[in-house]
Structure 1
């Protein structure tokens, strides 16, 4: 079942202008409108939330708006710049969300995310992340997901929620209560329908099509069929001329997995030749399948380092062929290097001089594309005295920084996500515990070493000015070794809670 996101930017012209102007933009609290010519008069074509709250509306004469709101900031509208900005947003979404993205002028984007939601933590998480990122950039956004472009477009603009997800097969239920304007009909058509007593999309769904087509033409039926999924409304993805792209058009549609794999290899060869001419290597690839029913399927793979090996790229792409539904056949295949970086050929090292280094990048790419690149990482040292702050996650193939952990005291290979409280008994404040209970199991301490005193990083947080932790390495009667600490020095209340915690496990 296809899934489509409609991203609605209700105040895109004013939000774009504020972002572009930077420090020179009007103050955030100042009401802002953009003006353009509507016929012979100068009217408001866009406005921000402040201006709307004060009673200004789109279509209002600028002179009337200025009389209504003293101090109103009026700037000239620039529809061409607004459209260019949408195209730039579409290219951003193309690289980060889905290979099938297009601008939806004048105030949105449309994104086909069929089969891609799991790469972003699910449908709800994907929509929330998108809206949050736009909000952080100063752009108001609402997003909706449905089976069709028309349904998602209508819900995003007329349901008035930050995010909305229409369940698979639920487009008609979601559309029925929405106003007629949700179908993207001409203003004259909507007015004529209102005259006849139609108010909602559900009113149209329940009516015979022939009388409506006779009076208003085929547009109403076409829009209904597109929104309900009866007629396909394909998304024509945006493409940048800077992207490296190769395609194959078939005289007869193909559908067998073996045939798709064979042509995938040919496209990978052609793409690598193009990349070689530009001195580039691919970091992210999109393989698009245009089906005969005017819909699209896609495969996306990523690499930790720039790659220009056709066999390696073919293997990564073919691992996901089973996710492609050819339908009644595929008539066009397009392979695009969405991300590419300069690639320098490595000089071969003679085995007579030194042994070649093991290359695990191919294995990491295979695992990352199967289970998600966010789940493959490695840990690197960070300069910090606090143990939980002394380590960071980085991509598995990130370059080495040369940083190391300093200090003479050993650290456990397994550090818990957060220290867990334990019950203990120590003979003296500066002595290790004689026993401790962790996760319901009581363990008697046979050997111990410590304490290693670690103080808070007072230069980062004032609350850590006097905090202290005393760490001990202990071994229980079963030979298991643990890393425990007492919060505080055992004497002064301001140094910590004086409670004991388990922070790591050795071996």
Structure 2
């Protein structure tokens, strides 16, 4: 099953457009056409053409940026859909599927009826589909890309003979080399002595030919189904007490955490759905500050969300799903790491985040910058880890504030100065530490240029951070040490 316009069909199914349309992708410092609809191809455009040339040929061309990641996810959805025809389905490149329908075609009335059903369902969904059916994977690929249809059993060689050599999934350089020798069709390549071809092109070209003809096996590897992080509990009698709901949640968590442990993952977001007997439902969402799979730790965190649940006439079904999971590999336990030292902090962050939102619980982290005001940043604590980060070459004050001018002359710190209505006497001066502005940032506070920073210890007990600006002479106080 080949979807030649998979990317553009995915976009146009959601937002239909009339006229030429294409998706563009930046390649080799140039924006080029990635996938086109039928109208754009009729206008003479082709894949790989630069966007500037395409607009010159077709001024009315409408474009959108390509999203290969979303195309891959959409192909995964189509792979699951294709399992309605057979259980053995795998992906083939970025726009194709490969199916092994042995023993399944009779369920649809035969092979031709199965192909017709595939085409009809794809057309109703707004997808362009070309299908090839043959005894081998290589032959089916060749038919789908060059002559869609069915090759009868035992007629693979006859069906492939008139097709171009590109139908054998060869590299472009190999195709060009064969065509220069006059071997333009598969039948001509099949009739050519093998030894000269092997010496000239290596074994890859003949390997593809043997795979298409069935002389060399080629497996179809279906993709494994992704793990399902959800569990359900159907109750014989409705429940309504909070203790009963918590007990049901405990049982669901135990089963879900077993699945998480097998997959070496941890839940970051959980959704508990409670279905009432009147077919209405209530949901409790829990966002965790760190990936977890310990049922005993997670269960108390549901307490606040379940306090205000209206059970109505009773709850007869409970469903728990981990809607967001992250990798959480197993760790070697020893005498020094027998437990998770951050468990209490993570539980506290989760409890606070349940009330005010995890994004509002933030921590300070060091930033790689010599500029004092940029040497730190604030990020949500739930998605960051405390670390050492960048260490400045000199001590930095605990308190920073906007520069406050003081009286002073020359490059040496003043012996006496007034600051915030206090008369201070310099007892010891350490410095200077020259810091240059970061030219890639336009910071109004640093438009004066260079700064020479000094650590000033006064006889009055104040330890201040002063700086001098050589370009426009002046002294300022910017921070105070503890």
Answer 1 or 2: higher relative contact order, Cα 8 Å, separation at least 6. 1
Q: TM-score, normalised by structure 2?
A: 0.48
Structure with larger Rg: 2
